Structure 1
Amino acid sequence: MNRGLLTVATLLTSASIAATATARPMTPEDVAKLESVGTMAVSPDGTRVAFTTSSLPDVTQGEENGGFTQELKVATGPDTYRAFLPEDVSPRGVAFSPDGRMVSFAWSKEKEKRAVWGVPVDGGTYKKLAEVDGANVQSYRWAPDGRTIYMLAAAAEDKQRTKQKEAGFNSRVYEEEFKPNRLFAAAIGESVDEDPREITLPGFVTAFDVARDGRMGIVDTAPTPLVDDSYTKKRVNIIDLASGDVRVVVETPGKIDDVEISPDGSQLSLIAGVDMNDPAATTLHLVDTATGSFRALNAGAAEAAVDAEWLANGQLAAIVHVGAQSVLRLYNSDGSLGQEIDPGELILTRVEAAGGKLAVAANSPAHPNELFVWNNGQFDRWTSHNPWLSDITFGAQRAYTYTARDGQQVEGVLIEPVGGTPRGGAPTIMNVHGGPEAHESNGWVTAYSKPGQMAAGKGYAVFLPNYRGSTGYGTAFSKAHQNDYAGKEFNDIVDAKRALVADGITDGDRTGITGGSYGGYASAWGATALSEEYAASVMFVGISNQVSKFGTGDIPYEMYNVHSLKWPWDDWQGMMEVSPVFHVDKANTPILIMHGEDDTRVDPGQSLELYRSLKIRKPDLPVRMVFYPGEGHGNRKAGSRYDYSLRMMEWFDTYLMTGDRDAEMPGPRPTLADGAKGASASDAEDDSED
């Protein structure tokens, strides 16, 4: 990628952007070049913050297609940061050495396996610090004394298996040939330790951390690497780092997420589910490392814990999302609340702290994630990675609450058209999040598959509903959709439409729906069972048949535990009746169906089932099926993402903006930007199917 020279704009607040931006609306080409802050680390003395920025090649300007790359930068104050590595180094897992003299990172050089590297903070070239022969390092941690680096690495190569594959015997036994990760301790010195010590691990380890005493560690384990086991059977083990012996197992009953070790090693902070049926790990717990006993700090509250970090004084800093907003809480070591900080319009997503400095990644309605530092009662913005956003005219964005048909209060995020809502209401896109154990915050909500400000700039309103099943409103709300596929959860979206129509924001005859995964399920349901409600639909990696979904996806137990609460054979007919393919006879909504060919979460056959049923039973209905080779449950490559944005907006422009469900389908190939490779004047004229 041609990143060019790093320039830092004057600090841009969302207020100043909104006040001065009058030039033009946001386009898919703008979305394709967005850059955002990724991982962060604060130096031991608090004088520096290392962070990565994540971006894709700008295929709209002719750059080679590819996936995300990271760039390492180090900041010392507001608007004061610089790149630390050459363009061809894409780091991950950024950390400071315990003495603060080096920034370390994981990186795969050319054809080598991924290893741990370091670069001096005062200048100098980067060098390899530690590696595991023949295996990629997945994550690593420094020992407190700086003399050892612990590395979680992939399984050793099975040389016999490799020879068989080379000879053509490349069959794969499904869900049996598991390869557990390994933990190594490498000595740090003048040369790379060629024989790091292996530490025996219990089960399949996916994450680990090291206590400040250097003797105790924690590992997240599951019995197998199956995704279902990672959701339903993962446990935190407290281990002796010298021997690998398990001291204590934290027997949490449900999903687990972020785990952190307190400075004195006596406690863990753990974000986890409260029981096996809790859809998401959103409750903050404290764990006694001596006994493994745990207690919840915010159980039952209408909120979701997102990230946590221990401070040197023994307090715990936690980011908590409360509905569509966020707060930063400081808990005392006994679990009592010390302070709650309101960041205003910022949506906090990650927190790191050291040396008396607390840094967060945060976004807002006007920008993706940037680096902010808490200072004298406010969050100072340290980075501005997309200064060109000041040229964009944004649609007004706010949280919006309405009452569902049964009296339930439901919240979401509303973006109004640039220039305001016209009389009679605007064409409106319902952008439905996946999960449904997720939620939309009133921050940056535009992405390649999320129309957001792209749509607002063309005259659409966009509503992102936190329908029943969403997190951020407490466990009871996130469980409210269970054993009720396509019931209250999707009725909430229709009720949002009716509320927006009543408020004069939405044109009820020009309302569309889109989303991915569970949002794709909602989009398929909206195009079939609820076809009278939606003038256009764009379905992405979505569910069309709840019976075949069970047998072809990788999370059957998770579906049972937190969604259906029953197996398909408990009620075959009932499962079919909550499947969009069952309601194809009602379909009158033009639908664009898109799916990654390598999706293991929702098999591409789900999209194909719906497409085939519609084509045969509704031959005159505009329906298109688009597969993305090499993509999974969401697109990762720049070209696939840009292509998706163009197709999504073109479909809505054709059927939703006009309100004409009988309009001729757009050509099979979208029109690329003039600077993109392969762009030509004939793009829009080529109507031949490939």
Structure 2
Amino acid sequence: MLLNFRRNVSASICLFPFLAVAQSPKPSITLDEYLNTTDIVGTSLAPDASAAVIATESPDWKASVYRHDLWLWTAQAGLKPLTHSGTDEQPRWSPDGKWIAFVSDRTPGGSADSDADAEGTKCSRIWLISASGGEALPLYSEKLDVHAFAWSSDSSAIYFSAKAPLTHEQEDAQKDDWKDVVRWREQYRGDVLLKLAVAPALARSIAVPLATEAPTSAKADAEPSSKLAAGAETIAKMDLAISEIAPSPDGKRVAFLTEPIHKRIENPADYEIFLVGSTGGNMHQVTHNQAVESNIRWSPDNRWIHFSVNAAAGSLEGKYRDVQGRLYRLDPESGKTERLGASFDGSLDQYTLLADGRELALGLKGIETQVYLIEGEKATKLPGVAGSYAGLESAHASNALLLRHSTMNDPTQVYLAADPLQTDKLKKLTSFNPVFGERAQPEFQPYTWKSDDGQAVEGVLIFPPGKKGAKHLRMFTLIHGGPADADGNRFGADWYDWATFAADNGWLVFRPNYRGSTGYGDEFMLGIEPHLVSKPGRDILAGVDALVKDGYADPDHLAIGGYSYGGYMTNWLITQTTRFKSAVTGAGAVEHAANWGNDDETRDDAWYLGGRPWENPALYQDEAALFRFDKVRTPTHLVQGGADIRVSYLEGETMERALDSLGIPHTFLVFPGEGHSLDKNPWHGYIKLREELKWLEKYDKQ
């Protein structure tokens, strides 16, 4: 708030100096400034819309970790810190507005003892803090790692899921029989769905703030329930994990969503919606399909269960296939499902239900995400501001709307819309990352070209500051991951989405939304199958050719790069052409058979390539960069997370060995302990981006 105050003062009392400053160029942003951003990762709106909790993630460079903090906004006090531990996430207001629940890996009572469960998993518990502030209290102290949670409709209890605990005898037997041996699949245990009354739980927390309570008897010590949260009721037991929980507004039923324990998408049937009474009893499955459902919510009248299927997560219409995001609602009595917003030819993802039952959703079409009113099959775009919206959330007792908005140069902020149908009239609640407004900013424009088969393809051109429309520029083609994603008018400033930083450093950045991207209709998205890299690869090369022909790109100063699927494409494209002076690639497969076995989205891989490896071996080889590496001449910089299960670290090792055997200039950076998202240590992302930019500069000057 102090920074805003200073800007307002300078604008009001320094009129003539301001004119001189406005004519002077702003300085370029530094790497330190660019990556020292605060990301908004979650929000929760008070039931009456009078306050909001905002969850953020920011780098802690001294501790080499990312902080997760909660902030409280009120109309009276503005934005203030709510928690201070640095590990607090997923805030949820109680329906009565008195409490805010959140997830944290704090240790109850501040104990220095190990807080891991029997398998060594660090426990994240549910904590509560009063809406008026004060100290947070754990809902329970037992070593139960929460997987999902939700408030009961009357705020008296919290439902949550956790891995079914072992008895002490079972733990001892497992250690004696198996030592440290991992029994793949065999030792997996499903979740229990628990209900815990809040008032007595808080009373116990205040009275006994230690790590665990002693069992009351030898019999209790021998039973699994002794390791559940004290006072908890077991509502359901599953062989699967429980990833989402939605109690009905009338308090009679609980819907929940399952997923595989190992988190790998092998069988869409693992992702289904179940119903159980709010106190337990008979449980039944209410969906049976090949889609990966998510975001389950009840309608306010208890009539429907709404849910979404995100882009590239299948659909309810027939066999599994990667299409755009869809919205549905389910009648739990009859099992009948209806698709909502079907007339929209973009991708529908996040949605919310207003207190009066109306549904709003975010729709990606082209290079922007806007807000739409969903009425049956109809989707009507609401008045909005240019750019991209995210984080749609309504209040329980008000039709006010909480949402986020950004543009390519304006960092994401949280806004409140008093009228949910007027999302162009917004009250700004946050002012994170002000440095971007104080630095020189690149400009962008959409760019459309024809691929080799005549298909129109769109992308974005990002120009260096002050050079919009300039010609004969050195060009960096930065390919988005997914492939179910799209680049456009939204903010990005991190190790993955660094297009504006490249532009700030003198590159014309080309971001192609090749076939397989979302926001351009199902047919366009399905055009990637079964030619996983060759079809979109031709789209990208046609775009590069068009930009050279139109005079934007200097053909002697071209570079290429990407991460994840963008890495797949980079690895493939350097086998197809020698036009690029350099390449930077990360977490991209070079073959598809072993990657099918290692990838945690293996169902997706098999769909893209027309079956499992033995069902279509020729295509697995034809679409693999590895078998064309004799044609590579491009100096290539590789990065990989050492613990990545989305694209195995061994894919990077294989590529490095191939480049080394061919004598191609290259480097290979491995980030220990990091998965696909490089979210453990901010220095890893910092070093990645620093070295990638140096690599581009080095070979552009040769």
TM-score range relative to shorter protein:
0.7 to 0.9
Please say if 1:154 is aligned against 2:163.
Answer: yes
Whether the aligned pair in 2 keeps the contact of 1:248 and 1:289 (CA below 8 Å) is no
Q: Distance in 2 between matches of 1:321 and 1:511?
A: 30
Amino acid at match of 2:73: A
Q: Which residue of 1 aligns with 2:466?
A: 419
Amino acid at match of 1:641: G
Q: Distance in 1 between matches of 2:160 and 2:93?
A: 15
Match of 1:141 among 146, 150, 158: 150
Q: Which residue of 2 aligns with 1:549?
A: 595
Tell me: CA distance 1:445–1:533, structure 2 relative to 1, closer, same or farther (3 Å): farther
Tell me: CA distance 1:486–1:344, structure 2 relative to 1, closer, same or farther (3 Å): same
Q: Distance in 2 between matches of 1:89 and 1:20?
A: 41
Q: Distance in 1 between matches of 2:674 and 2:70?
A: 26
Q: Distance in 1 between matches of 2:198 and 2:465?
A: 56
What CA deviation, in whole Å up to 9, does each residue of 1:397-427 have, x standing for no partner? 2332222221212122221112216965222
Q: Which residue of 1 aligns with 2:689?
A: 645
Match of 1:170 among 164, 180, 184: 180
Local SS of the residue matching 1:550: helix
Deviation at 1:228, TM superposition (A): 1.8
Q: Distance in 1 between matches of 2:165 and 2:42?
A: 28
Q: Which residue of 2 aligns with 1:321?
A: 364
Structure 2 counterparts to residues 453-602 of structure 1, below 5 A? 453-527=500-574, 529-561=575-607, 563-602=608-647
Runs of 4+ in 1 over 4 A off after TM superposition: 5-12, 18-21, 157-168, 334-337, 421-424
Please say if 1:93 is aligned against 2:86.
Answer: no
Deviation at 1:72, TM superposition (A): 1.1
Tell me: CA distance 1:288–1:520, structure 2 relative to 1, closer, same or farther (3 Å): same
Amino acid at match of 1:630: G
Whether the aligned pair in 2 keeps the contact of 1:228 and 1:557 (CA below 8 Å) is yes
Local SS of the residue matching 1:533: coil
Amino acid at match of 2:642: E
Local SS of the residue matching 1:178: coil
Structure 2 counterparts to residues 416-455 of structure 1, below 5 A? 416-420=463-467, 424-455=471-502
Whether the aligned pair in 1 keeps the contact of 2:341 and 2:374 (CA below 8 Å) is no
Deviation at 1:554, TM superposition (A): 3.1
Whether the aligned pair in 2 keeps the contact of 1:237 and 1:249 (CA below 8 Å) is yes
Amino acid at match of 2:193: L
Q: Which has the higher contact order (CA 8 A, sep 6+)?
A: 1
Structure 2 counterparts to residues 138-537 of structure 1, below 5 A? 138-157=147-166, 159=168, 160-161=170-171, 169-189=179-199, 191-192=203-204, 194-204=230-240, 205-222=242-259, 224-229=261-266, 231=268, 233-272=270-309, 273-274=314-315, 275=317, 276-279=319-322, 282-299=325-342, 301-332=344-375, 336-337=378-379, 339-354=380-395, 355-375=398-418, 377=422, 378-420=425-467, 424-527=471-574, 529-537=575-583
Q: Which residue of 1 aligns with 2:33?
A: 30
Q: Which residue of 1 aligns with 2:220?
A: none
Q: Distance in 1 between matches of 2:23 and 2:429?
A: 21
Please say if 1:73 is aligned against 2:74.
Answer: no
Q: Which residue of 2 aligns with 1:632?
A: 675
When structure 1 is superposed on structure 2, of 452-461 and 433-442 the one drifting more is: 433-442
Q: Distance in 2 between matches of 1:336 and 1:479?
A: 23
Q: Distance in 1 between matches of 2:573 and 2:543?
A: 13
Q: Distance in 2 between matches of 1:8 and 1:120?
A: 29
Tell me: CA distance 1:300–1:543, structure 2 relative to 1, closer, same or farther (3 Å): farther
Tell me: CA distance 1:166–1:349, structure 2 relative to 1, closer, same or farther (3 Å): farther
Q: Which residue of 1 aligns with 2:665?
A: 622
Q: Distance in 2 between matches of 1:401 and 1:162?
A: 64
Local SS of the residue matching 1:29: helix
Q: Distance in 1 between matches of 2:335 and 2:530?
A: 33
Tell me: CA distance 1:398–1:163, structure 2 relative to 1, closer, same or farther (3 Å): farther
Q: Distance in 2 between matches of 1:170 and 1:201?
A: 27
Q: Distance in 1 between matches of 2:391 and 2:468?
A: 35
Local SS of the residue matching 1:94: strand
Deviation at 1:164, TM superposition (A): 5.8
Q: Distance in 2 between matches of 1:215 and 1:591?
A: 59
Local SS of the residue matching 1:225: coil
Deviation at 1:168, TM superposition (A): 8.8
Q: Give the TM-score normalised by the residue count of structure 1.
A: 0.87
Deviation at 1:552, TM superposition (A): 3.1
Amino acid at match of 2:93: F
Local SS of the residue matching 1:525: helix
Deviation at 1:171, TM superposition (A): 1.4
Local SS of the residue matching 1:228: coil
Whether the aligned pair in 2 keeps the contact of 1:421 and 1:505 (CA below 8 Å) is no
Local SS of the residue matching 1:189: helix
Q: Which residue of 2 aligns with 1:131?
A: 140
Q: Give the TM-score normalised by the residue count of structure 2.
A: 0.85
Whether the aligned pair in 2 keeps the contact of 1:232 and 1:557 (CA below 8 Å) is no
Q: Which residue of 2 aligns with 1:666?
A: none
Identity across matched positions, percent: 22
What CA deviation, in whole Å up to 9, does each residue of 1:192-234 have, x standing for no partner? 4722111223441222111211112211124653412465641
Whether the aligned pair in 1 keeps the contact of 2:343 and 2:378 (CA below 8 Å) is no
What CA deviation, in whole Å up to 9, does each residue of 1:277-316 have, x standing for no partner? 3325601122222222112223364311120111111101
Q: Distance in 1 between matches of 2:563 and 2:335?
A: 38
Tell me: CA distance 1:136–1:552, structure 2 relative to 1, closer, same or farther (3 Å): closer
Q: Which residue of 1 aligns with 2:12?
A: none
Q: Which residue of 1 aligns with 2:120?
A: none
Q: Distance in 2 between matches of 1:547 and 1:264?
A: 49
Whether the aligned pair in 2 keeps the contact of 1:398 and 1:442 (CA below 8 Å) is no
Tell me: CA distance 1:340–1:131, structure 2 relative to 1, closer, same or farther (3 Å): same
Deviation at 1:379, TM superposition (A): 2.4
Local SS of the residue matching 2:47: coil
Q: Distance in 2 between matches of 1:651 and 1:161?
A: 51
Local SS of the residue matching 1:473: coil
Tell me: CA distance 1:305–1:167, structure 2 relative to 1, closer, same or farther (3 Å): same
Local SS of the residue matching 1:490: helix
Whether the aligned pair in 1 keeps the contact of 2:267 and 2:603 (CA below 8 Å) is no
Tell me: CA distance 1:50–1:531, structure 2 relative to 1, closer, same or farther (3 Å): same
Deviation at 1:508, TM superposition (A): 2.2
Amino acid at match of 1:393: A
RMSD, aligned α-carbons: 2.7
Tell me: CA distance 1:517–1:488, structure 2 relative to 1, closer, same or farther (3 Å): same
Tell me: CA distance 1:244–1:569, structure 2 relative to 1, closer, same or farther (3 Å): same
Q: Distance in 2 between matches of 1:20 and 1:143?
A: 57
What CA deviation, in whole Å up to 9, does each residue of 1:153-200 have, x standing for no partner? 233146555786599921112233212122111112151472211122
Local SS of the residue matching 1:200: strand
